[in-house]
A and B are shown apart, each in its own frame.
Chain A
Amino acid sequence: MTEFGQTRRRFLATTAATGALAVAAPFVHTARAGGRVTLGLWDHWVPGANEVLREIALAWGEKNKVEVVIDFITSIGEKDLLTAAAEARAGVGHDIFVHRTWQVAVYENQLEPLDDLVAEIEKNEGAYNDIARYLARPNGTWRAIVAPTGSHSYPMVSRLDLWKEHAGIDLLELFPAGPRDQARIDAEWTYDTFLEGARKLHAAGFPFGNPIGQTSDSQDWLGSLFLSFGSQPMNADGEITIDSDGTRAALEFMKELTRYMPDDVYAWDDAANNRWIISGRGSAIQNPPSAWAVAKRDAPEVAAQLWHHDTPSGPAGRFRGSLPFFWGLWDFSTNKSAAKELLYHLASKEQVAKLLWASQGYDLPLQPDYYDHEVWLKESPPPGTLYNYPGRGSEQVVVTGFPAPPAVGARIYNEGLLAVLVARVTQGGESVEDAIAWAAEELEGYQRG
């Protein structure tokens, strides 16, 4: 017996039962939660998108007698990351905060478990995809919900006219805004076809361009390309697997492809490929619809020829990079019940539908149930250009670093491992073997606890 009159066995049984209850406990709605809820959310680049989100949140606050305060924080200059780091360290700040891609894993221990809330969202609003599960549920506990704003993926954005004229590929026919011939796509749209097309378009003066630098776009397209060749830096068990035939094949492919890309891609940032395609000098990039949306305003003749479609497939399959956004609840939040209520409200189908329209189809929730939304059917020009943006075929949506344990995946992504690896070979002239040895050494360092 202990001094509390409880045996060790009984104590363990009680705590286990309490723990199980906590995990299995359903989300309890607390009507009229009261108080104040503050949100630090991503400052959307689409004009008007922030306002729609603010209106929805404020209307909810008014109805539930909760004061809602939203700060929209830009990701330019990593201001969102800096704010998150400051709040996490200070233990004070917003109640709800936005976390990009891997940052949920970075702050795992300071984010409130949201298993009950996610269970309710998935039950009523549709299941999250595997990437959401992988990124927002480190070690089996949901630490964030998928943000209905900001998440996007990286399809090909190609010039219909240039690919048809110079490469002889009719992308509109291959990737129509409607039912597709997947067998034909699987047979014809491979990295070999793409390389040949890139060569012809380079010769015609309209190269394919995508960054191989430090920023997120570089990681997002290279990660999916490496996976297509069967290359994973690290497997799910935490074993370093970069030294593989898949990596060698991916690097050999990149040696060829970079011959047909602009020389300055090693210094490109996330906006450079957008400018490249909008300028009319490029034939294709890999990007969410932001380039197209800006082209609609600044270069309508270019926008009218831009088509969003699947990435090519490699020997190991067809993958598309993504950059999901999550909303987490800090463990130091002073109004957790109201914050969870608000999160649930913002994740509802009705509100997400409004937000999709507000983002002009840029936001791509990680819930396949939404992919038939009209926004991707109706946006133009050209009509149906965004139809294939949510992914209609065999593409697997991934994040660079997958399937490594999230703590290591975060470093693979944030430190630009694959972009540096490629640049060491294609720009630095390093041998494939030496570059792989360097990457393996880096990965070994990423594992430090």
Chain B
Amino acid sequence: MARKQVTGIPAAGPRVGRGVVARRWTGLRRSRATLAFLLCLPLVLLVVGLIVYPFFYAIYLSMLNKAETAFVGLGNFAFLFERSTFWMVVRQSILFTLTAVFFKALIGFVCAHLIHNVPPRGQRLWRGLSLVPWVIPPALSTLGWWWLFDPTYSAVNWLLTSFGAAAVPWLSDVFWARFSVILVNIWYGAPFFLIMYLAALKSIPEELYDAAKVDGASAWQRLVHITLPMMRNIIAITMLFSTIVTFANFDIVRVLTQGGPRNTTHLFATYAFKLGIQSGDIPLGAAVSLFMFPILALFAMFILRDVRERTKRL
């Protein structure tokens, strides 16, 4: 009587021993792992070529002198610590990032709730429309904003003055220039938060809300005790991601103000461009662009650890 085949592995014939089966199985696993590796290889190469290598190269560059002929260790960073203009750039970058990320998260959160409560047929349209700012290349959309804020022929000012209001110096006054670059960053980045929060909202079981309603919980209590705790991980991850990306922002400031007036809208990336590319001091530019790395790395480590522990608890 033939042996009953109970696994997906062909039954060993009289001349095929257990060792051969094990070898075949190992070979199959190996070949699957090899295939997986080969499929991932293009992406790995891209990441290594476009992220890992430039990152380490930037670290290497930041430790050279201006002529790139001598190793100066952390000398470029020490040099930056003594420059008042650099500290102004640090303060501006922090102001820009914290303000923009806060409002992007807030607007994304509110809009996600609004869209979540729209009947399903209408949701698709609103979801699509809300993503428009995010899918347009920022350099292009910022050009549109520049036309709205043009120092002399601002379309917004034309409207304001048509209604008898005073024109606003959008790009020439320090406060308004900072306001403008932050506003455009919020406009561009809020849809990312919206779509992430909308997805998170949809994953919260309705039963939790139903039970809370039965228990007499108010809308505020449902938000604080159900929605926010259930969304905590996605909020942490989106805030982390957005903080890193916003700190590295370049195109909005470059197109709108070029760092002016009086260098008061420069961010790390635009200031690094000015030093490295325009003035030919690549090592100092690299040092500027890497300045936030240790702080952001620590920030990311703590947030991701928190997310991981919370996920384990859940």
* Chain A residues in the interface with B (C-beta under 8 A): 77-78, 81-82, 85, 89, 103, 105-107, 109, 213-215, 262-269, 272, 275-276, 279, 410-411, 414-416, 420, 423-424, 427-428, 438, 441-442, 445, 448-449
Contact = CB atoms under 8 A, between A and B. Distances in A.
Contact of A427 (B83, B85, B262, B284): B262
Contacts of A438: 84
A267 B67 contact: no
Contacts of A109: 67
Given A415-B274, A427-B261, A441-B83, 4 more contacts: A78-B278, A85-B280, A264-B171, A269-B258
Q: Which 5 A-B pairs have the closest CB atoms?
A: A106-B280, A264-B151, A267-B172, A267-B171, A214-B258
B153 interface: yes
A441 B151 contact: no
A449 B284 CA distance: 11
26 contacts: A78-B278, A85-B282, A89-B282, A103-B280, A105-B280, A106-B279, A213-B258, A213-B261, A214-B259, A265-B172, A266-B173, A266-B260, A267-B177, A268-B152, A272-B151, A272-B152, A275-B152, A276-B152, A410-B279, A411-B281, A414-B279, A415-B279, A420-B262, A427-B172, A445-B79, A448-B281
Best-surrounded residue of B257, B260, B281 (most CB of chain A within 10 A)? B260
Contact of A275 (B153, B260, B275, B279): B153
B133 interface: no
A251 to B, nearest CB: 14
Interface residues of A, dominant DSSP: helix
B127 interface: no
Contacts of A414: 274, 278-279
B66 interface: yes
A266 B279 contact: no
Contacts, number: 95
B152 A266 contact: no
Interface in B68-96: 79, 82-85
Q: Is the interface of B mostly helix, strand, loop or mixed?
A: loop
B277 A78 contact: yes
A218 to B, nearest CB: 9
A445 to B, nearest CB: 6
B142 to A, nearest CB: 12
A411 B279 contact: yes
B141 interface: no
A414 B258 CA distance: 12
A58 B279 CA distance: 34
B238 interface: no
B166 to A, nearest CB: 11
B263 interface: yes
B151 A268 contact: yes
Name the residue among A106, A214, A262 with the largest chain B CB count within 10 angstroms.
A214
A262 B150 CA distance: 13
A423 B277 contact: no
Contacts of B84: 438, 441
B65 interface: yes
B308 to A, nearest CB: 39
B279 A442 contact: no
B79 A262 contact: no
A107 B278 CA distance: 11
B169 interface: yes
A248 B3 CA distance: 103
A215 B177 CA distance: 16
Contacts of B65: 449
A85 B68 CA distance: 14
B92 to A, nearest CB: 14
B91 to A, nearest CB: 16
A103 B151 CA distance: 29
A403 B276 CA distance: 23
Contacts of A269: 258
A109 B282 CA distance: 14
Contacts of B173: 266
B151 to A, nearest CB: 4
Interface in B254-291: 254, 257-263, 274-282, 284
Given A81-B277, A445-B83, A449-B67, A215 B151 contact: no
Given A265-B172, A411-B279, A445-B83, A214 B260 contact: yes
A445 B259 CA distance: 19
A215 B258 contact: yes
B85 A262 contact: no
A145 B282 CA distance: 25
A89 B274 CA distance: 17
A262 B172 CA distance: 11
B293 to A, nearest CB: 21
B277 A85 contact: yes
Nearest to B57: A89
Nearest to B278: A414
A198 B151 CA distance: 21
Contact of A267 (B260, B275, B284): B260
